[in-house]
């Protein structure tokens, strides 16, 4: 991968100047308010399978987007060309769209007083200076670890190494113009196992801002193989009600449904099962969910949201009670509330862990279903009704007995959240939501 250009202050200044040019051009063409986003990035992606290189891709991308407001009429356009002539055409297109748009009294920029004015270094940029040859060797090493882990690993879907860095600049006509570099790297592997004609596949991956924080190639390969082998011989189970333990890597999805239900868009459209739930008890007393946008080197960290509004640590659930929604400036205006700096999503959502590790959670569950994979999207956002295909393991007396598949679990998210018994301290740090495994006291299982 080429050496980083993003540590050069002159590069950032050049991009900020381009954004300033867009703002000036939009004002010249009659826009009342303007916002601009400019992204450039470069990366290396390598895929290897069965010890051979499948793909090597060096890429460098750039994109420029503008949103203009003519009164309360909005228009947006984008371009991948940063030349002045292309910028003029892009702005003209946005203004033309705005002229024909309907008036929306809630549209427009956020309040100027809410914009970020201080920009602490969150240590988000750690370029991985790795060339294609070394990336290939790393991918092959990872896949070899998986393929040699056990004789029942019979095939591979390959291993992948990805290194990326880029700059995002955001500017608006209120005087905000800021950008910063960031990086994200990953290593993944997926293999296939076979036993007595039964085949299963599974995978593992690691992701981080800094390559030094990635798991080793051998560790990723070993985990991918271990997960695959553990699924061989999977069977279905009879329909019943029992406790369900969601492993840490799938629990984020369970929390994701909660966040979707308290997002401004769902609320003002009245398409949420948590409508008018502010101050209501959603979870048991011991559940604490909060945002920590300024964690150093975390994947979800940001000083400001997609509108330039300053982010800050805040509680969303305290003692099980909903403290606030997830709002952009637009959805906040629609709801006659104040933005929570969540344009573009949440930033490092943390479900505070409990005292038990994964083994302790199995012991607490005693007998029930451990879910390690989910399929399908059977979730009704309006009612909270929940039905998902799952695979995992049957547990008895706190010990994993055998793998299971072709099972559907069903319940209602409101009841499921109230029925959480424990959150583990086996926190998964690979994404924007940090949570351990989640144990629910009872759900309905539909099997064979």
**What digits encode the pLDDT tens for the residues 12-39?**
999 999 999 999 999 999 999 999 999 9
- CB-count exposure of residue 327 (10 Å: 0-12, 13-18, 19+): buried
User: Is the pLDDT confidence value at 109 over 50?
Assistant: yes
Same domain flag for 77 and 165: yes
Please state, in angstroms and rounded to a whole number, the distance separating the CA atoms of residues 237 and 233.
13
User: Is the pLDDT confidence value at 2 over 70?
Assistant: no
When pLDDT is averaged across residues 238-264 and rounded to a whole number, the result is 97
12 contacts: CB under 8 Å, gap ≥ 6 = 6, 167, 169, 179, 180, 181
- CA neighbor of 46 nearest in space, from 132, 141, 150, 145: 132
- Of 230, 255, 273, which one is at a domain's C-terminal end? 230
Same domain flag for 176 and 266: no
When pLDDT is averaged across residues 402-430 and rounded to a whole number, the result is 97
* pLDDT tens figures, 336-392: 999 999 999 999 999 999 999 999 999 999 999 999 999 988 899 999 999 999 999
Please state, in angstroms and rounded to a whole number, the distance separating the CA atoms of residues 424 and 429.
13
Please state, in angstroms and rounded to a whole number, the distance separating the CA atoms of residues 396 and 402.
10
pLDDT of residue 1: 46
CA atoms within 13 A on the CB side of 92: 6
Same domain flag for 262 and 223: no
pLDDT of residue 4: 63
pLDDT of residue 173: 98
Q: By the 8 A CB rule, do 120 and 56 touch?
A: no
Same domain flag for 371 and 271: yes
Residue 1, domain member (yes or no): no
Q: Provide the pairing of β-strand 368-379 with 240-246.
A: parallel
Residue 181, domain member (yes or no): yes
Same domain flag for 217 and 240: no
Find tokens 């956020």 and name the residue: 110
Structural domain of 78: 9-230
* pLDDT tens figures, 67-77: 999 999 999 99
- CA neighbor of 91 nearest in space, from 39, 21, 40, 171: 21
Domain of 154, CATH number, reads: 3.30.2290.10
Please state, in angstroms and rounded to a whole number, the distance separating the CA atoms of residues 139 and 47.
7
User: Is the pLDDT confidence value at 3 over 60?
Assistant: no
Please state, in angstroms and rounded to a whole number, the distance separating the CA atoms of residues 57 and 188.
16
- Of 205, 230, 255, which one is at a domain's C-terminal end? 230
Same domain flag for 270 and 214: no
DSSP H or E stretch at residue 29: none
- Of 197, 230, 263, which one is at a domain's C-terminal end? 230
* pLDDT tens figures, 174-231: 999 999 999 999 999 999 999 998 999 999 999 999 999 999 999 999 999 999 999 9
DSSP string, 95-157: HHHHHHSPP-TT-SPPPGGGB----------------HHHHHHHHHHHHHHHHTS-TTEEEEE
């Amino acid at each position: 991968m080429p050496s980083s250009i993003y540590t050069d202050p002159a590069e950032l200044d050049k991009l900020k100047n381009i954004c300033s040019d867009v703002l000036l051009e939009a004002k010249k063409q009659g826009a009342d308010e303007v916002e601009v986003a400019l992204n450039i990035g470069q990366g290396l992606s390598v895929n290897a399978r069965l010890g051979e290189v499948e793909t090597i891709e060096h890429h460098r991308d750039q994109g420029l987007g503008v949103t203009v407001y003519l009164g309360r009429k909005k228009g947006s356009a984008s371009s991948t060309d940063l030349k002045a002539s292309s910028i003029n055409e892009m702005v003209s297109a946005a203004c033309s769209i705005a002229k024909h748009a309907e008036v929306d009294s809630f549209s427009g920029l956020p309040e100027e007083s809410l914009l970020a004015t201080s920009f602490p270094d969150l240590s988000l940029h750690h370029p991985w200076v790795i060339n294609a040859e070394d990336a290939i060797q790393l991918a092959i090493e990872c896949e070899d670890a998986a393929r040699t882990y056990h004789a029942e690993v019979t095939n591979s879907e390959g291993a992948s190494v990805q290194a990326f860095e880029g700059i995002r600049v955001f500017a608006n006509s209120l005087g905000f113009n800021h950008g910063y570099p960031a990086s994200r790297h990953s290593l993944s592997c997926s293999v296939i196992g076979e036993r007595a004609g039964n085949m299963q596949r599974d995978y593992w991956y690691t992701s981080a801002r800094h390559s030094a924080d990635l798991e080793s190639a051998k560790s990723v390969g070993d985990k991918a193989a271990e997960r695959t082998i553990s699924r061989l011989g999977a069977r279905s189970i009879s329909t019943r009600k029992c406790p369900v333990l969601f492993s840490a890597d799938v629990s984020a999805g369970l929390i994701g449904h909660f966040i979707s239900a308290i997002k401004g868009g769902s609320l003002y459209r009245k398409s949420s099962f948590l409508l008018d739930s502010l101050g209501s008890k959603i979870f048991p007393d011991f559940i604490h969910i909060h945002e920590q946008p300024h964690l150093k080197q975390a994947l979800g960290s940001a000083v400001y949201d997609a509108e330039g509004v300053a982010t800050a640590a805040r509680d969303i659930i305290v003692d099980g009670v909903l403290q606030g929604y997830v709002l952009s400036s637009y959805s906040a205006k629609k709801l006659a509330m104040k933005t929570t700096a969540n344009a573009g999503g949440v930033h490092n959502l943390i479900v505070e862990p409990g005292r038990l590790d994964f083994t302790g959670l199995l012991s607490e569950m005693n007998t029930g279903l451990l879910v390690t994979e989910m399929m399908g999207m059977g979730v009704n956002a309006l009612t909270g009704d929940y039905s998902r295909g799952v695979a995992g393991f049957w547990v008895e007396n706190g010990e994993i007995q055998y793998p299971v598949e072709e099972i559907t679990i069903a319940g209602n998210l409101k009841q499921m959240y109230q029925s959480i018994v424990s959150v583990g301290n086996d926190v998964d740090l690979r994404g924007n939501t940090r949570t351990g495994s989640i144990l629910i006291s009872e759900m309905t299982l539909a099997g064979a």
